[in-house]
Structure 1
């Protein structure tokens, strides 16, 4: 068993009324508290592996840092009920934590004072440059076919999401897994940033629902093509069009849906 797995005993119920007892691996889910420069910033429910990748990707997605070397130190501590990530930012970006915390806290219930926070929730995204060659349809289906072979925790437990970096031909180069779909993408983006990897002409493939948060994480990591096996939300389609991110949803072995831009 790894840090991402545990096991438990279950009574397996059978249609004919019989039952037996089996041991089954489980994906670990626990609170991961993120503390940045001494400020308690967030608590995420996550799978406690690849935490340095997660910390980097999380800070990039939160716009607290612009590149991996802005994160000077990552210390992970085992607490009684979870993990504590203590992060230190470079001096030139340190003030962003206080600014983000200020926007996330509303002390009034008047209904109008949340406008500033709503504007923060839908901040402008970077415009992502298109690849030299658009991702071909056959590359999407090839990556779909290969993905399960790159999901060891998913195969064992059936309880985690995956996010993958795929080459332009559909070859899978890197995968991160987590019980949280956002966390899986943060881990992938963080691993790429720490390794100095870009998307090039490749694309992202995720097992998650295609929510606006995943579109935003893709845009902030300058990912031009995001493929998901589930459906998009209305806001995901809108935000993708704003940022120039090509989204391909409901990607299954027999078909996939590509969102059309307003100019199509």
Structure 2
């Protein structure tokens, strides 16, 4: 434990005065010194049973726990929850947190089926799932007919980006936003899956209908993000980077509109174009 602390302190001291080395336009220089995002082990504990341990940014943990429970299928609705408790703990001298949810009697049957207890890398979306069946659950159809214009895609990305207050301090953080046609509700985390779980929890806790808007991600789009968005009924999923092949297949089968490589001036539309009026296949 001492060796880790010494190494970390030495590394911070070495970088702190001038910032990191940077290769830019064929030349070496010094990059800007930016704060590093905070990261801690966060255990999602439901009715006293650990469901997952993820490396996460330790804020909005109630949203994280609620959203994780919803998007992983551990609860069906917010009314199944009777309480929440955030308990700081220490593991081998390092800070950690238990985000504890308590359910109404009779609602804990799903927990044994989906229990996950291994520590995963940052925002690992499927870490600890112990079978192919658990990793590839039944496809949930997305039925919302909510639409957005092609111009709204760039506006949604801009609204999500402007809502990333922590990214303004350090670029090493992901954002997930919900665009309702006018504004974006945003949550952030070092893990993209964590950011979406936090957003899902925030939507549920604020009584916002996820079927009446688009999920906007600052990241690539993997199948687990599609699965999570489908579980809350989001009709459109937008990402700043590329989708995986399985994400595309899942979105197509679920009836979800998937948009990737989205920027202010353009995007790639992959599945179910009918929700973007005027698109060639509309």
The TM-score by the shorter chain falls in which range?
0.7 to 0.9
The structure 1 segments of at least 4 consecutive aligned residues displaced by more than 4 Å after TM superposition are: 13-20, 261-264
> What secondary structure is seen at the aligned counterpart in 2 of 1:231?
coil
**What TM-score do you get using the length of structure 2 for normalisation?**
0.78
Task: Name the CA distance, whole Å, in 1 between partners of 2:81 and 2:206.
Answer: 14
Task: Name the CA distance, whole Å, in 2 between partners of 1:131 and 1:14.
Answer: 47
Out of 11, 14, 18, the position equivalent to 1:11 is 18
Contact 1:148 1:155 in 2 (8 A): no
What residue is the counterpart of 2:160 in the other structure? 147
Shift in Å, 1:173: 3.0
What residue is the counterpart of 1:210 in the other structure? 221
Aligned residues, how many? 241
Out of 112, 122, 133, the position equivalent to 1:119 is 133
Out of 103, 108, 112, the position equivalent to 1:89 is 103
Asked whether 1:100 is paired with 2:111, we answer no
Contact 1:164 1:172 in 2 (8 A): no
Shift in Å, 1:87: 1.9
Asked whether 1:186 is paired with 2:197, we answer yes
What residue is the counterpart of 1:29 in the other structure? 39
- Structure 2 unaligned residues grouped into runs of 5+: 1-11, 119-129, 275-280
Q: What CA RMSD, in Å, does the superposition of the two structures yield over aligned residues?
A: 2.5
Shift in Å, 1:18: 8.0
Out of 69, 76, 83, the position equivalent to 1:59 is 69
What residue is the counterpart of 2:52 in the other structure? 42
Contact 1:64 1:96 in 2 (8 A): yes
Shift in Å, 1:11: 3.2
Out of 49, 68, 77, the position equivalent to 2:87 is 77
Out of 253, 258, 263, the position equivalent to 2:269 is 258
Task: Name the CA distance, whole Å, in 2 between partners of 1:17 and 1:205.
Answer: 35
Shift in Å, 1:26: 1.9
Shift in Å, 1:130: 2.9
Closer/same/farther in 2, CA of residues 118 and 198 from structure 1, 3 Å limit: same
Contact 1:130 1:244 in 2 (8 A): no
> What secondary structure is seen at the aligned counterpart in 2 of 1:49?
coil
Asked whether 1:136 is paired with 2:146, we answer no
**What TM-score do you get using the length of structure 1 for normalisation?**
0.83
Task: Name the CA distance, whole Å, in 2 between partners of 1:18 and 1:175.
Answer: 34
